[in-house]
């Protein structure tokens, strides 16, 4: 009895020591699971769909895949074919081992294997050089270690991500995208069977090299009794008749410039999310590539499409072809500063509308003019004479635009553009001049789209996101241009005829051509989205005959039409915005011109100025009697010819103004006389009592 107890005790000690040793060994030599989880970095669109993947450090296309990413039918077929008792064993399947051993003894060769999915994962994360008994034992030990550390779902996910499919393809997603051109979420029975069959002999069964061998391997999967039970005999027969894909497709490689930006921002992140929409991106890239081929060698095309309400970039093309060295395709032309040509003209007209200087049907002169030595000329070197403001903007006439810019002031234009967080690039040490209205400044395509987004957004300004990390932002504060003025600009641009060969689709758009035919632009928008197009050479070389209307505008209309984005109607006119016939305009708005002295001329019947607020004899309470700070008094007038000079009690207020509204802060309580004098020397006065 004592001897039996002693033997049991010794066995327990030995077992405990052995178990302790195994646990110590397990802890000292763990399987390289973390390293095995290295996968390709991915850039995905707003809906999580793959835009571009980057190979691993080993040069492999290994896309992270989970059981949720694949067709459930595929998982059932995989387990039925490879490991029927996957959810029951702990890394090794004793029944499968006994079966394989018996077949080996009876046939004197290996008839079938006994590898579980866990053992296969062990082999995948630590590839063996040969098929020896020692290698198999090591694989079994590793499988047990893996089972101790991971649950079944994690083991299955590792297999789905690392199963070999020939060449540098690993994982079900990479194989499905390469052979079928789609994600493995929905696979046909034939496709699923092929993906089950390939990992056993991935190089010998590659369908792009050995389609007959691949077809035979697929047939073996379909005819396996366990698999047939899963899918049904009739379905297996039908699947056997489907063709084998005989070529390997390229993995998605959309938005290359944006993808590179994402990796530079955070090289360690595996999955980079963007605001891009894959369908839009694919359409824009296709249009850009085809357009560049039509236009000629060395030319490139860049595009930016944004949601004007949210500021999200939904499509961005940095060049016609990223890998085309002849077009310097690696340069992202959406971020390069170039001359905008005439594309800033809508903002000049917008300020003029806002100031009340002109209406759409106001007559403006298109004749040779000299602005203190600056002599702008029209693109075609001809002049139209008297034209309406609407015609001048639609025809992109240079002289009328410079006349209006001279009236509103180039500095005021650049300051106003800063409301949209856009700063024009000027020559070092130079102040804004009249030339900026015709392209004498630098701007990027992204910034230009940001400006036009305000036109599509009824004047509200939004800072575009960068598509990756910087979030879009609706900027607080005053609108870029008053909504009524924006409506006048949009109403004018929406009536411009589309370029030759394009159909009218409801866009307001403007074109531009930089000096020397170096840049061609076209920017268009509907009630929601804005798209900007640039055409030119990355080296800034001249391209004879390159124009915004002939080169960039057709691309704009084609890209907008093929983007898949439905056209949003333009918003209705805001209160106070109306297009009036010239005969209905106030006399002062029927013609716009400036004399050599800089004063605005008018017709002989132009009314004299009239102060409409405050009215004659009014008592206005501004806090003067209470001893507190005196509030300013708003002054408003009608008629007259700008600029206006205001006087209070005979003393001139500091500045002249083209506005018909201003403010005056009185010195104290009591009666005051307010006088306004217009450019023609006509005056109007009122007497008010300040309380």
- Which residues are CB-contacts of 649 (< 8 A; sequence separation ≥ 6)? 672, 673
Q: Is the pLDDT of residue 585 over 70?
A: yes
User: What per-residue string of b and e applies to 587-616 under the rule 16 or more CB within 10 Å gives b?
Assistant: ebbbbbebeeeeebebeeebeebebeebee
> Sheet of 661-664: strands edge to edge?
610-613, 633-638, 661-664
pLDDT score, position 148? 86
φ/ψ of 686, rounded to 5, equals -140, 155
Average pLDDT, the chain: 87
pLDDT band at 28, cuts 50/70/90? low
Q: Which has more confidence, 613 or 52? A: 52
pLDDT score, position 330? 95
Share of the chain above pLDDT 70, in %: 89
- Which residues are CB-contacts of 121 (< 8 A; sequence separation ≥ 6)? 36, 143, 146, 155, 158, 159, 162
For the record, the structure tokens of 92 come out as 């090794």
Q: What is the DSSP letter of 387?
A: E
pLDDT score, position 680? 76
Q: Is the pLDDT of residue 71 over 80?
A: yes
Q: Is the pLDDT of residue 647 over 50?
A: yes
User: CA–CA separation, 499 vs 565, rounded Å?
Assistant: 20
The stretch 543-561 carries a mean pLDDT of 96
Neighbours of 428 (CB within 10 A): 5
Query: Which residue has 């085309």 as its token pair?
Result: 324
Q: Is the pLDDT of residue 380 over 90?
A: no
User: CA–CA separation, 377 vs 342, rounded Å?
Assistant: 13
User: pLDDT tens across 303-327, in order?
Assistant: 999 999 999 999 999 999 999 999 9
pLDDT band at 383, cuts 50/70/90? confident
| Contact by Cβ (8 Å): 302, 333 | yes
| Contact by Cβ (8 Å): 191, 197 | no
Cα dihedral across residues 210, 212, 218, 224: positive or negative: negative
Q: What is the DSSP letter of 494?
A: T
- With vertex at residue 311, the alpha carbon angle to CA 487 and CA 460, rounded to the nearest 5 degrees, is 35
pLDDT score, position 135? 67
Residue 273 burial (C-beta neighbours within 10 Å; 0-12, 13-18, 19+): middle
User: pLDDT tens across 482-509, in order?
Assistant: 999 999 999 999 999 999 999 999 999 9
| Contact by Cβ (8 Å): 343, 549 | no
CA end-to-end span of the chain, whole Å? Answer: 119
pLDDT band at 229, cuts 50/70/90? confident
pLDDT band at 584, cuts 50/70/90? confident
Neighbours of 471 (CB within 10 A): 12
- For residue 594, the cross-strand partners are 600
Query: Which residue has 């607080």 as its token pair?
Result: 476
What are the start-end ranges of the H helices in 364-501?
A: 389-394, 398-408, 410-417, 445-456, 483-493
Residue 441 burial (C-beta neighbours within 10 Å; 0-12, 13-18, 19+): buried
pLDDT score, position 15? 46
- Which residues are CB-contacts of 365 (< 8 A; sequence separation ≥ 6)? 385, 386, 399, 400, 403, 593
Range with the poorest average pLDDT among 8-22, 87-101, 446-460, 675-689: 8-22
User: pLDDT tens across 183-216, in order?
Assistant: 999 999 999 999 999 999 999 999 999 999 999 9
Name the residues annotated as catalytic.
82, 342
pLDDT band at 603, cuts 50/70/90? very low
pLDDT score, position 147? 86
pLDDT score, position 598? 46
- For residue 619, the cross-strand partners are 689
Half-sphere exposure of 552 (CA within 13 A, CB side): 33
Q: Is the pLDDT of residue 596 over 70?
A: no
Which residue from 324, 255, 281 is spatially nearest to 538, judged by alpha carbons? Answer: 324
pLDDT score, position 108? 46
């Amino acid at each position: 009895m004592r001897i039996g107890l002693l033997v049991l005790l010794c066995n327990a000690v030995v077992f405990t020591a052995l178990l302790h040793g195994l646990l110590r060994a397990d802890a000292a030599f763990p399987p390289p699971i973390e390293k095995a989880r290295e996968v390709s970095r991915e850039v995905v669109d707003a809906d999580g769909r793959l835009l571009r993947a980057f190979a691993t450090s080993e040069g492999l296309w290994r896309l992270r895949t989970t059981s949720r990413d694949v067709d459930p039918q595929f998982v059932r077929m995989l387990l039925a074919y490879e490991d029927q008792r996957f959810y029951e064993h702990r890394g090794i399947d004793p029944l499968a081992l006994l079966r394989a051993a018996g077949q080996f003894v009876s046939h004197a060769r290996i008839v079938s294997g006994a590898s579980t999915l866990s053992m296969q994962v062990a082999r995948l994360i630590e590839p063996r050089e040969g098929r020896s008994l020692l290698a198999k034992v090591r694989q079994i030990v590793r499988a047990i270690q893996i089972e101790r550390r991971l649950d079944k779902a994690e083991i299955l996910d590792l297999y789905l991500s690392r199963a070999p499919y020939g060449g540098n393809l690993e994982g079900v997603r990479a194989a499905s995208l390469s052979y079928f051109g789609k994600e493995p979420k929905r696979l046909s029975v034939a496709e699923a069977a092929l993906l089950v069959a390939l990992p056993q002999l991935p190089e010998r069964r590659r369908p792009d090299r050995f389609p007959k061998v691949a077809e035979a391997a697929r047939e073996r999967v379909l005819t396996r009794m366990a698999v047939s039970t899963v899918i049904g005999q009739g379905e297996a027969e039908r699947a056997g008749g489907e063709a084998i894909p005989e070529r390997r497709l390229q993995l998605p490689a959309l938005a290359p410039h944006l993808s590179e930006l994402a990796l530079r921002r955070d090289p360690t992140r595996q999955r980079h999310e963007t605001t891009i929409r894959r369908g839009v991106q694919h359409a824009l890239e296709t249009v850009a590539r085809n357009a560049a081929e039509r236009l000629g060698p060395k030319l490139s095309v860049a595009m930016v499409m944004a949601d004007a309400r949210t500021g999200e970039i939904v499509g961005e093309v940095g060049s016609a072809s990223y890998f085309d060295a002849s077009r310097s395709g690696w340069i992202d032309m959406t971020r390069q500063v170039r001359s905008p040509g005439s594309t800033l003209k809508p903002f000049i007209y917008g300020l003029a509308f806002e100031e009340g200087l002109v209406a759409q049907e106001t007559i403006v002169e298109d004749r040779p003019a000299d602005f203190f030595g600056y002599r702008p000329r029209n693109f075609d070197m001809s002049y139209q004479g008297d034209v309406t403001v609407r015609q001048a903007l639609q025809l992109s006439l240079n002289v009328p635009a410079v006349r209006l810019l001279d009236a509103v002031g180039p500095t005021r234009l650049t300051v106003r553009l800063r409301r949209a967080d856009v700063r024009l690039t000027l020559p070092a040490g130079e102040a804004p001049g009249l030339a900026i209205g015709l392209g004498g400044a630098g701007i990027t395509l992204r910034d230009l789209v940001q400006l036009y987004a305000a036109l599509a957004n009824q004047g509200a300004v939004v800072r575009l996101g960068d598509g990756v990390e910087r979030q879009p932002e609706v900027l607080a504060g005053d609108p870029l241009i008053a909504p009524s003025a924006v409506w006048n600009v949009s109403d004018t641009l929406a009536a411009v005829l589309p370029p030759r060969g394009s159909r009218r689709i409801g866009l307001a758009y403007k074109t531009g051509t930089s000096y020397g035919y170096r840049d061609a632009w076209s920017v268009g928008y509907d009630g929601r989205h804005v798209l900007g197009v640039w055409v030119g050479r990355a080296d800034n070389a001249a391209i004879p005959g390159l124009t915004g209307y002939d080169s960039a505008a057709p691309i704009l209309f084609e890209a907008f039409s093929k983007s898949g984005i439905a056209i949003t109607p333009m918003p209705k006119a805001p209160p106070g915005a109306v297009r009036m016939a010239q005969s209905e305009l106030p006399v002062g708005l029927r013609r716009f011109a400036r004399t050599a002295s800089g004063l605005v001329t008018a017709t002989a019947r132009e009314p004299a100025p009239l102060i409409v607020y405050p009215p004659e004899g009014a008592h206005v309470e501004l806090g003067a009697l209470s001893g507190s700070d005196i509030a300013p008094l708003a002054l408003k007038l009608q008629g007259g010819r700008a600029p206006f000079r205001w006087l209070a009690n005979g003393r001139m207020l500091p500045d002249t103004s083209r506005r018909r509204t201003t403010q005056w802060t009185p010195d104290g309580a009591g009666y005051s006389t307010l006088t306004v004098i217009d450019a023609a020397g006509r005056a109007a006065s009122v007497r008010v009592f300040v309380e």
